[in-house]
Amino acid sequence: MGILKAEGLKKYFGEVHAVDGVSLEIKDGEFVSVVGPNGSGKTTLVNLISGALLPDSGVIYFEGRNITKLPAHQRVKLGIGRSFQIPMVYEFLSSLDNILVSILSRNGHSRIFHRTVDKFEGARKEAMELLKIFSIPLKLVAELPHGHRKLLDVAMALALQPRLVLLDEPTSGISLEERDQVMGTIAEVLKERKIAAVIVEHDMDIVAEYSDRILVMHDGKILKEGGKEVLEDEEVRRILIGD
């Protein structure tokens, strides 16, 4: 059964038809990549699913529940996590504390001071494990290079224990040599934890290697979808080369 289903999603910004009638279904644990040229509507689509934007029309169901009008923070509670094209991390906290914020917010952050030391230690252990999985050093975020910040953003999304995670260009700004390993680690963690993913990615080698399914967006619409063979499609190649 699909964990996420969207029908007829539209989001216009004035004359710009950013998302223009998108329907899609994501299966449990499925790794779906969204590709397409700049401005084709990928981030807008992610924003509609996360609740950062509300659609002009269309419906979104998550685990059978209509979430079309639900605000973003409530979608997080239901199990939709996300990372950002530009990492949203707290500059003046350490990498560890950033992840701790996510973990502790899972069950209501305001109650942190009533927690026992044991529970806090559990959260700390969990945060340390995520740092280790992604090889993120324990440092002030302001001192971390871009690549590590991107990963921290992904780790924070995973710390919320989502059922579905939306990752907007998780490997952008990460060096070519490191990209494959980074996505390999992300893919492994997602499989292990049975988390479905919608990933916006510009590196077609990565897309071909890790995706269960690929959605090609063009002018706010899904032009093609399928396995990695869609990347060989004549029309898809033509629009992606313009990228």
Ligand X SMILES: Nc1ncnc2c1ncn2[C@@H]1O[C@H](COP(=O)(O)OP(=O)(O)OP(=O)(O)O)[C@@H](O)[C@H]1O
Cα–Cα distances (Å) from 144 to 13, 95, 123, 135, 172, in that order, read 35, 8, 22, 12, 16
Residues 6 or more apart whose CB falls under 8 angstroms from that of 137 comprise 95, 131, 144, 148
Q: Residue from 13, 23, 146, 237 that binds ligand X (CB under 6 A)?
A: 13
Q: Token pair 């230690």 is at which residue?
A: 121
Q: What interhelical angle do 146-159 and 117-133 show, nearest 10?
A: 130
Minimum CB separation of residue 193 from ligand X in Å reads: 26
What is the rounded CA–CA span in Å between residue 209 and residue 111? Answer: 42
Minimum CB separation of residue 11 from ligand X in Å reads: 8
Minimum CB separation of residue 210 from ligand X in Å reads: 19
Q: Is 43 in the site for Mg ion (CB under 5 A)?
A: yes
**Closer to Mg ion at the Cβ: 12 or 120?**
12
39 binds, among ligand X, Mg ion, none (CB under 5 to 8 A by kind): ligand X
Restricted to residues 17-76, the positions that interact with ligand X (CB under 6 A) are 18, 36, 38-44
Six token digits for residue 101: 């914020």
Minimum CB separation of residue 101 from ligand X in Å reads: 26
44 binds, among ligand X, Mg ion, none (CB under 5 to 8 A by kind): ligand X
Residues 6 or more apart whose CB falls under 8 angstroms from that of 196 comprise 3, 4, 26, 27, 28, 29, 30, 31, 32, 163, 164, 165, 190
Minimum CB separation of residue 86 from Mg ion in Å reads: 10
**Closer to Mg ion at the Cβ: 178 or 243?**
243
Stretch that binds Mg ion, among 1-9, 42-50, 184-192, 221-229 (CB under 5 A): 42-50
Element (H, E) at 125: helix 117-133
**Closer to ligand X at the Cβ: 103 or 200?**
200
Angle at 126 between CA 141 and CA 81, to 5 degrees: 70
116 binds, among Mg ion, ligand X, none (CB under 5 to 8 A by kind): none
What is the rounded CA–CA span in Å between residue 236 and residue 189? Answer: 30
Restricted to residues 133-152, the positions that interact with ligand X (CB under 6 A) are none
Which residues contact ligand X (rule: CB under 6 A)? 13, 16, 18, 36, 38-44
Which residues contact Mg ion (rule: CB under 5 A)? 42-43
